[in-house]
Amino acid sequence: MFHTDVVRNELDHCSNCFDRSKYYIFVEVLSVQFILLYLYTILKICVDKNLLLSIMSTHCSDNRTSISEFFELPFAESSFKSSLLDDNDIDLGYYLTAYEELYKFCQLLGTVFSFVGSEIKSKMEILVSLKKADENNYFKTMKSMVEYEMKNNLLSDKNYISGSRTLLRLHRGLDFLRQFLERVGNLENHESTNNVGQEVYAATLAKYHSWLVRKGASMAMYVLPTREVLLQKVCGEDYNEALRCLPSMLAVTNEVYERTQNYLEEKDLLGLP
Confidence at residue 68, expressed as pLDDT on a 0 to 100 scale: 82
Q: How many CA atoms lie within 13 A of 140 on its CB side?
A: 6
Is 37 part of any domain?
no
Is 128 part of any domain?
yes
Quote the number of domains for the chain: 1
Tens of each residue's pLDDT in the chain, 273 residues: 445 454 455 545 544 544 544 444 444 544 434 434 433 433 333 333 333 333 333 333 334 566 689 999 999 999 999 999 999 999 999 999 999 999 999 999 998 898 899 999 999 999 999 999 999 999 999 999 999 999 999 999 999 999 999 999 999 999 999 999 999 999 999 999 999 999 999 999 999 999 999 999 989 999 999 999 999 999 998 899 999 999 999 999 999 999 999 999 999 999 998
Confidence at residue 8, expressed as pLDDT on a 0 to 100 scale: 52
Domain that holds residue 129: 68-267
Is 4 part of any domain?
no
Nearest to 182 by CA among 123, 227, 132, 131: 227
Query: Could you say which DSSP state residue 70 is in?
Result: S
Confidence at residue 65, expressed as pLDDT on a 0 to 100 scale: 60
Radius of gyration, CA atoms only, the chain: 26
Q: Indicate the helix (H) or strand (E) that contains 191.
A: none
What is residue 90's three-state secondary structure? strand
Is 114 part of any domain?
yes
Confidence at residue 2, expressed as pLDDT on a 0 to 100 scale: 47
Q: For position 109, which CATH number holds? A: 1.10.3520.10
Confidence at residue 247, expressed as pLDDT on a 0 to 100 scale: 97
Dihedral, CA of residue 261, residue 262, residue 267 and residue 272, to nearest 10: 20
Confidence at residue 5, expressed as pLDDT on a 0 to 100 scale: 54
Is 223 part of any domain?
yes
Contact of 170 with 120, CB cutoff 8 Å: yes
How far apart are the two ends of the chain, measured CA to CA in Å? 71
Is 58 part of any domain?
no
Is 59 part of any domain?
no
Is 40 part of any domain?
no
